[in-house]
Structure formats: structure tokens, C-alpha cells
């Protein structure tokens, strides 16, 4: 494979060496590494959840900001509720209970597909939102970089995509350090802030950029619900551990369940802690402006740590890293779910993992492209993306919990009612959040996802129907192949040269009935060809076709038609010499006649077009 290996080498440089089958199983995760690998998505949402609440409340004036604390408390309670609800899923689906599987098995194919659509959208949004928030953390620390935010976001997408194409896996090694760095940084920040608040050593943060203008909106139910809906972004990613149960060391389910609860309490601590500190330090959310932009977490860190010192930069770096990791999880989940959907024939089989990394690469490329488009359209602005994010998340939460309720009811067993009730509370509360989000954020972009989910489900179904139809047409059941006995081989030639001689050599090996075909457009050239043919024709008869219209294609197609009519059920093979130029752009200098002939015969049954490559060396 001398030349072929050039291609292989290039592929290896770009995407890394293939992994032998016996090494394909991931190392199993302990609780410590499991927390690191599967919690970056939920933990990272702490970076923007508080900000999303206060950004809405400020519309009703600075006084309304105090409401952030009760709102955060309700969300924290909901988060714990959902986590405990998912804990039941872990025990019921020790093989991994993604929303698609749970909803499909218990509620039927359509809810399953809706959950799958919601999840795929969710993954795209996770990439866009996490990277936008990560870049916001960078920009908060280095306000000068503010101008090239969209470009920085796209650069991160490309970097993570290349990393994943090369095969960075959910390896504890890579994940543990940044996750625990983040936990340590934020827990220390909260502890220090709490200490300073209690010791009375607290001064409000001086604003650095342009504070959001304090609004005069009435602090009505709708506004509070909107703030609540925005804050629910803290709950995104809670389901990750329940999907990844089989990755844990045995006893898998118990280890996963413990990890899930630890993760939930950590999330609550960070989220409530940041919200309390933001209020204590009188943090006001900032507007985008020419002066730059600073996140709420950055302001809190500045307040607690007394300005931009080394510790402050640690907090920002940790925040950025965990957000990039969160985006990275979507790069694992999107191709995996696509592969499952492709296996079930709901997505094109190009996404089905059949060895190599080809299928996963397709998933990674599609995910990067979609996330990139979102980032460009929404200019890398976290706040603009959030309304689109949560619909997908809460649709899959609700369907998954509802599926669990159905499962308990159907299967019965000891204590089924208690379990069912627990999941029912989960399903109802996430459904309520879903409705609140859809209503309060509808005009801000949530409508896009409300419209998109059914469209994606329809697409899944049309793909499925196509494969079903193809399967029926390919089925061998009760089918009998027609007997074929003859292969007429035609070699259209435009002159006599080495490539033609080689094509005739090849054609003679295929069949006893080989004919060279030449179209007469110029009697002198025809005469010359006839003469050359006597010497080089290898005994193959030369058919000369007349062309009334100076066309080369039409007489040829008519002749093929005529040959086909001689034996309608048998094969006709058209052998064409094809130049393989030494440089790709040389292709532009040669007639694409082979392509034209192939195109013209594409829909003709029993007709095969073969190109015999003739390699040009320079």
C-alpha cells in the first residue's frame, strides 16, 4: 500500500491512531474520577446561573435583587429533587438510562424521538453556551480581548473538535485536575467571602464596566417567573451521571448513585453560595459595552479577593476550564446518541459507529458546525443563547421522569408506588419549569426550539421510513434473481493511444463480446483512427457511428440503447479509459466525459460504467 499509506498517514496525523478493539473499553471510573468526568456540565452552569437571575431582576430596579436569594433556594430544592429522581433511574437502568431509551421503552417511539431531538439540541446548546460563558470568563479577566469574542468562541469550538477527532476520551486523567481545581477555587472563594461577610470586613464591588441600567418594570409574577426560569439553567447536566452508569467501577449503580448525590449537593452549595455573595457584595450585572464586559462571578471574585490578584486569575481560569470541559462532554454525547439513533435507523447510517472513528467524526463535525452557526448568529452572547438552551433540557427531563413513572406502574414490584410517586413529583416539577421557561422566554428565542423539536422528530421518522422501504427492496425473502448470461462490453474511444490500448486489454478480459465505439465527426480523423486500429485494436471490432448533429454523446447513447435492446435482461458494460493526473488541478484540463456518460446512464438498469485508470506521472 505504498501510495495508499500516504492517505493513512495523513489521517493519523489529523485524527490519531486507531484504537485496537481490546483496548476500546474505557478504564472504569471510581467515584472520585466519575465525579470529575460526569459533573463538568452541571457544575459549570454555576458560572452563569446567578447572573441570569439578577439580569432579569434588575429590570425592576436594584431593590428587586434581594429576590435572587429565595429564587435560588427554590431552584436548589428543585435540583435536589431532580437529582433524587434520577437516582432512581440509575438503579432501574444500570446499563445507562438516557432520556431517549427511558422514554422510548416506557412511553413509546414518538416520546422517545422527542426526547432524542431535545437531547441533540441540548448538546448543541451546551457547546454554544459553555464556550460563550468560558470566553466571557476570559474576557472578564482581560477586558482588552472583549472585541474578538465571537472569534475566540469559534477558535475554542475548532480546538475542542480537533481534540475529539483525534480521540480525547472521557479520561479521568484529563478531567480530574480542572474539575477539582474548579471545586477548590470556588469553594475557597465562597468560604473566604462568607468569612469576610461574617467578620464585617465587606465592601461592595466597584463596578468595572457599564452596569445594566436599573429598570422601572413592575416586579410582577411574570418577571419573577422569568428570573426563576433563567436561574433553572443551574439544573442543566444533572442527568449526565445517570447516562454513564456502566462506566463506573462495580457496584456500578451504587457508585453512580452516590456520585450523583454528592454532585447535586456540590452544585447547590456553589450556586447558592455565589448567589448569596453576589447579593452581599452588591454585584450589579453588566451590559455589553465598548468598555468591555465582566461576569457576575468575576465581580464576586474581585470583591472577595480585593481586586485582580493571582487568586482572582485562578478563579477565572478554573471557571474557563470547567466550561470548556462541559462543552467537551457534549462532543462525547452527541456522536454517541447519534450512533444509537442511526443504529435504530432514525438517523443516516453515516452516524452509525461501525469501526474506526468515522461515524463519531461525522457527529463531531455536525455538532461543531451547528454550534459554530449558533455562536455566530448570537455573537457569542451567553444571555442570548440561554433561552434556547433550557427547552431541550427540560423536555428530556420531563419525558425521562414520566417514562420512569410509567415503568414503575407497569412493573409493579415492592414499593413501586413510592418510587413512582417520587419520579412523578420530578416529572411534574420539571414539566412546570418547562412551561414556565417556554412561556416566559418564548419571544426571546425559546420558540425556535419549540418549533424545532417536532421538525426533528418528523425528520427522524422520514429517515426511518426510507430505510424501511430500502430494506424491503433489498430483502431476499421469496426473491429469485433473474438469470444473466451475457455481458456486452463497449469501449468508447476518441482516438488511439496508450490509455485506449490498456482499456481494450482490460475489456477483452471481461467478455468475449467487446466492441470499440468511435463517433465520426471528421472523416479525415476517422480514417486515421481506422488505420491505427488495424495495428492496435487487438482484434476487437471497431464500430464507427455517424453523427448528424456533430454530437459525440447522442450517437453513443443511442448505440448503447440498441445494444441493450439486443439482450434486454443482460448486462452492458461501458469501459472508459480515465486519466489520473499527477496533480489534482490537472483534472480541470481534461474532459469529464466519463462523468457525463456515467450521469447519462445512471438510471439505466443493467448498465455498468467502468473506468480503467491510466496514471499520468507528470
Residues 348-387 that bind a second copy (CB under 8 A): 348-350, 354-356
The binder of a second copy chosen from 198, 216, 443, 476 (CB under 8 A): 476
The binder of a second copy chosen from 25, 414, 524, 618 (CB under 8 A): 618
Q: Which is nearer to a second copy, 7 or 142 (CB)?
A: 7
> CB 103: neighbour CB atoms within 10 A?
30
Q: Which is nearer to a second copy, 13 or 588 (CB)?
A: 588
Helices 68-92 and 46-57: crossing angle in degrees, nearest 10, is 140
Q: Which is nearer to a second copy, 428 or 553 (CB)?
A: 553
Judge contact between 100 and 93, C-beta under 8 A. no
Q: Which is nearer to a second copy, 204 or 613 (CB)?
A: 613
The binder of a second copy chosen from 173, 379, 497, 531 (CB under 8 A): 497
Least separation in angstroms between CB 575 and a second copy: 9
Spatial distance between the Cα atoms of 525 and 434, rounded to a whole number of angstroms: 77
The binder of a second copy chosen from 13, 451, 474, 524 (CB under 8 A): 474
601 touches a second copy (CB under 8 A): yes
Assign 98 to helix, strand or coil. coil
Residues 563-592 that bind a second copy (CB under 8 A): 571, 573, 579-580, 586, 588-592
Least separation in angstroms between CB 124 and a second copy: 19
> CB 198: neighbour CB atoms within 10 A?
9
Q: Which is nearer to a second copy, 218 or 470 (CB)?
A: 470
Q: Which helix (H) or strand (E) holds 276?
A: helix 252-280
Question: C-alpha angle with apex 300: 205 to 261, nearest 5 degrees?
Answer: 160
Least separation in angstroms between CB 496 and a second copy: 7
Residue 575 backbone dihedrals phi, psi, to 5 degrees = -100, 125
Q: Which is nearer to a second copy, 4 or 415 (CB)?
A: 4
Residues 408-467 that bind a second copy (CB under 8 A): 463, 466-467
Instruction: Give the contact letters, 510-549, x = binds to a second copy (CB under 8 A), - = no.
Output: xx-------x-x----------x---x----------xxx
Whether residue 251 has a cis bond before it, omega within 30° of 0: yes
The binder of a second copy chosen from 116, 552, 563, 594 (CB under 8 A): 552
Spatial distance between the Cα atoms of 593 and 602, rounded to a whole number of angstroms: 14
Assign 511 to helix, strand or coil. coil
Q: Which stretch binds a second copy (CB under 8 A): 12-20, 105-113, 249-257, 324-332?
A: 12-20
The binder of a second copy chosen from 27, 527, 528, 558 (CB under 8 A): 558
Judge contact between 260 and 83, C-beta under 8 A. yes
- Going by C-alpha positions, the residue among 572, 576, 556, 574 that lies closest to residue 605 is 572
> For residue 53, what are the contacts with CB-CB under 8 A and spacing of at least 6?
68, 71, 72, 227, 228, 230, 231, 275
Residues 298-357 that bind a second copy (CB under 8 A): 348-350, 354-356
Instruction: Give the contact letters, 250-289, x = binds to a second copy (CB under 8 A), - = no.
Output: ----------------------------------------
Q: Which is nearer to a second copy, 379 or 531 (CB)?
A: 531
605 touches a second copy (CB under 8 A): yes
Spatial distance between the Cα atoms of 609 and 592, rounded to a whole number of angstroms: 14
Q: Which is nearer to a second copy, 144 or 480 (CB)?
A: 480
> For residue 292, what are the contacts with CB-CB under 8 A and spacing of at least 6?
139, 143, 144, 146, 208, 209
Spatial distance between the Cα atoms of 560 and 552, rounded to a whole number of angstroms: 13
Greatest alpha-carbon span in the chain: 107
Q: Which is nearer to a second copy, 149 or 345 (CB)?
A: 345
Assign 231 to helix, strand or coil. helix
Instruction: Give the contact letters, 16-45, x = binds to a second copy (CB under 8 A), - = no.
Output: --xxxx--x---------------------
> For residue 590, what are the contacts with CB-CB under 8 A and spacing of at least 6?
579, 581
94 touches a second copy (CB under 8 A): no
Q: Which is nearer to a second copy, 13 or 290 (CB)?
A: 13
Residues 98-117 that bind a second copy (CB under 8 A): none
The binder of a second copy chosen from 173, 379, 410, 615 (CB under 8 A): 615
> CB 541: neighbour CB atoms within 10 A?
11
State the number of binding residues for a second copy (CB under 8 A): 85
> CB 569: neighbour CB atoms within 10 A?
12
Q: Which stretch binds a second copy (CB under 8 A): 72-80, 304-312, 443-451, 481-489?
A: 481-489
The binder of a second copy chosen from 7, 142, 195, 222 (CB under 8 A): 7
Residue with cell 462568607: 194
* The three cell numbers locating residue 244: 454513564
Amino acid at each position: 500500500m505504498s501510495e495508499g499509506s500516504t492517505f493513512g498517514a495523513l489521517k493519523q496525523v489529523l485524527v490519531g491512531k486507531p484504537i485496537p478493539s481490546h483496548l476500546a473499553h474505557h478504564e472504569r471510573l471510581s467515584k472520585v474520577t466519575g465525579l470529575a468526568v460526569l459533573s463538568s456540565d452541571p457544575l459549570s452552569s454555576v458560572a452563569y446561573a446567578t447572573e441570569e437571575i439578577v439580569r432579569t431582576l434588575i429590570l425592576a430596579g436594584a431593590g428587586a435583587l434581594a429576590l435572587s436569594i429565595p429564587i435560588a433556594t427554590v431552584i436548589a430544592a428543585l435540583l435536589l429533587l431532580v437529582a433524587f429522581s434520577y437516582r432512581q433511574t440509575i438503579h432501574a437502568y444500570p446499563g445507562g438510562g438516557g432520556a431517549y431509551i427511558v422514554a422510548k421503552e416506557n412511553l413509546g417511539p414518538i416520546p422517545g424521538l422527542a426526547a432524542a431531538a431535545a437531547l441533540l439540541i441540548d448538546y448543541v446548546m451546551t457547546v454554544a453556551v459553555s464556550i460563550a460563558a468560558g470566553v466571557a470568563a476570559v474576557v472578564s479577566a482581560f477586558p482588552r480581548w472583549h472585541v474578538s469574542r465571537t472569534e475566540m468562541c469559534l477558535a475554542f469550538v475548532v480546538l475542542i473538535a480537533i481534540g475529539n477527532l483525534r480521540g480525547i476520551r472521557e479520561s479521568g486523567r484529563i478531567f480530574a485536575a480542572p474539575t477539582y481545581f474548579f471545586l477548590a477555587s470556588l469553594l475557597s472563594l465562597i468560604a473566604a467571602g462568607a468569612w469576610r461577610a461574617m467578620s464585617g470586613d465587606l465592601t461592595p464591588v466597584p463596578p468595572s464596566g457599564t452596569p445594566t441600567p436599573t429598570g422601572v418594570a413592575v416586579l410582577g409574577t411574570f418577571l419573577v417567573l422569568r428570573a426563576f426560569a433563567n436561574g433553572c439553567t443551574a439544573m442543566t447536566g444533572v442527568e449526565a451521571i445517570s447516562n454513564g452508569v456502566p462506566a463506573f467501577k462495580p457496584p456500578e449503580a451504587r457508585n453512580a448513585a452516590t456520585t450523583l448525590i454528592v454532585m447535586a449537593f456540590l452544585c447547590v452549595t456553589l450556586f447558592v453560595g455565589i448567589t448569596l455573595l453576589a447579593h452581599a457584595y452588591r454585584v450589579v450585572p453588566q451590559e455589553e459595552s465598548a468598555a468591555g464586559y465582566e461576569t457576575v462571578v468575576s465581580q464576586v471574585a474581585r470583591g472577595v479577593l480585593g481586586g485582580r490578584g493571582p487568586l482572582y486569575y485562578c478563579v477565572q481560569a478554573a471557571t474557563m476550564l470547567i466550561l470548556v470541559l462541559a462543552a467537551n462532554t457534549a462532543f462525547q454525547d452527541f456522536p454517541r446518541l447519534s450512533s444509537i439513533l442511526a443504529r435504530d435507523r432514525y438517523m443516516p447510517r453515516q452516524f452509525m459507529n461501525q469501526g474506526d472513528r468515522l461515524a463519531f467524526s461525522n457527529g463531531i463535525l455536525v455538532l461543531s458546525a451547528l454550534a459554530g452557526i449558533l455562536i455566530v448568529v448570537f455573537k457569542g452572547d451567553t444571555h442570548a443563547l440561554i433561552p434556547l438552551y433550557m427547552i431541550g433540557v427540560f423536555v428530556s427531563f420531563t419525558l425521562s421522569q414520566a417514562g420512569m413513572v410509567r415503568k414503575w406502574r407497569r412493573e409493579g414490584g415492592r414499593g413501586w408506588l413510592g418510587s413512582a410517586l417520587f419520579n412523578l413529583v420530578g416529572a411534574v416539577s420539571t414539566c412546570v419549569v418547562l412551561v414556565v421557561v417556554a412561556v416566559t422566554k418564548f419571544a426571546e428565542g425559546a420558540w425556535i426550539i419549540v418549533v424545532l423539536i417536532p421538525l426533528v422528530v418528523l425528520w427522524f421518522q422520514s429517515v426511518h421510513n426510507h430505510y424501511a422501504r430500502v430494506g424491503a427492496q433489498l430483502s431476499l425473502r421469496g426473491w429469485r434473481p433473474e438469470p444473466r448470461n451475457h455481458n456486452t462490453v463497449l469501449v468508447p474511444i476518441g482516438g488511439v493511444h496508450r490509455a485506449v490500448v490498456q482499456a481494450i486489454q482490460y475489456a477483452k478480459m471481461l467478455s468475449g463480446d467487446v466492441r470499440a465505439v468511435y463517433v465520426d465527426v471528421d472523416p479525415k480523423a476517422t480514417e486515421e483512427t481506422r488505420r491505427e486500429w488495424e495495428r492496435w485494436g487487438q482484434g476487437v471490432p471497431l464500430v464507427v457511428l455517424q453523427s448528424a448533429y456533430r454530437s459525440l454523446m447522442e450517437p453513443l447513447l443511442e448505440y448503447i440503447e440498441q445494444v441493450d435492446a439486443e439482450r434486454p435482461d443482460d448486462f452492458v458494460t461501458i469501459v472508459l479509459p480515465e486519466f489520473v493526473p499527477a496533480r489534482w488541478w490537472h483534472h480541470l484540463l481534461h474532459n469529464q466525459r466519463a462523468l457525463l456518460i456515467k450521469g447519462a446512464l445512471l438510471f439505466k438498469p443493467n448498465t455498468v460504467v467502468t473506468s480503467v485508470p491510466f496514471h499520468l506521472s507528470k
